[in-house]
Structures are given as structure tokens and as C-alpha cells.
Amino acid sequence: MKQIQRYLIRLGADRDVAEDIVQETIYKGLLYIDSIHEDKFSAWMFKVALNHYYDLCRKKKRMEIPIEDVAAEGNEAPEELFLQKERREEIERVLEDLTPIYKQLLIMKYAAHP
């Protein structure tokens, strides 16, 4: 469930919203557990959570995927921090022009896995 929550947060959901979606997903998983194949259960849970998130986004009439602020390390020069900020802003602009499915694919590909 933590993987689903982290995934939703990377897509742009607030931590509280992601937690609510995970709880709803668990509930639906328990309701339909008998009709879901065991080897597909994890994928089914991710899909339910993703669909629920997209439904919430549609209700808000917009979908944002914030790029996390770059954590400044003690030895970084101000110029480097400025360049990182510019790169982050450029990534945000490019992501805004993409369709949700392509945003999702890029986030999944380049997100660091703990």
C-alpha cells in the first residue's frame, strides 16, 4: 500500500489525498478479492487507485504534477541552485503540455525508487 501511496504522491496527489485513495482502494480490493486473480491483484489495486485519482482530478478541472523542490545541500553554490530551479521549471512546463498518460509514464520511468 505504501508503494501505491508513493506513486500517487509522485503523480501530484497530496499526502492526505493519497492516503484516502489507498484506503478506498483497499476497501474495493476486499470487496472484490474473490473475483480478482491472485497474480493480477497488485496491478488491479494500482489501476483502481489511479482511476480514483484521475476522477478527483477531473472534479478539480485540472491536473497538476508538481516537481519536488530540489533539496539544497550545504556546499552547493547559489549559481547551481539557480540552474537547478531553472531546470525544474522547464520540466514543469514540458509536463504541462503532455497528456496525462505520457506524464504518468515519464514519472514512472524517472522517479527514484526507495
DSSP reduced 3-state for 68? coil
* Gap between the Cα atoms of 88 and 103, Å rounded: 15
Which residue has better confidence, 76 or 106?
106
pLDDT in tens, 20-73: 999 999 999 888 888 888 888 888 999 999 999 888 887 775 545 555 544 444
The three three-digit cell numbers of residue 71, written as one number:
533539496
User: What is the CB neighbour count within 10 angstroms for residue 66?
Assistant: 13
User: In this structure, what DSSP letter does residue 4 have?
Assistant: H
Contacts of 112 (CB under 8 A, 6+ apart): none
* Gap between the Cα atoms of 93 and 99, Å rounded: 13
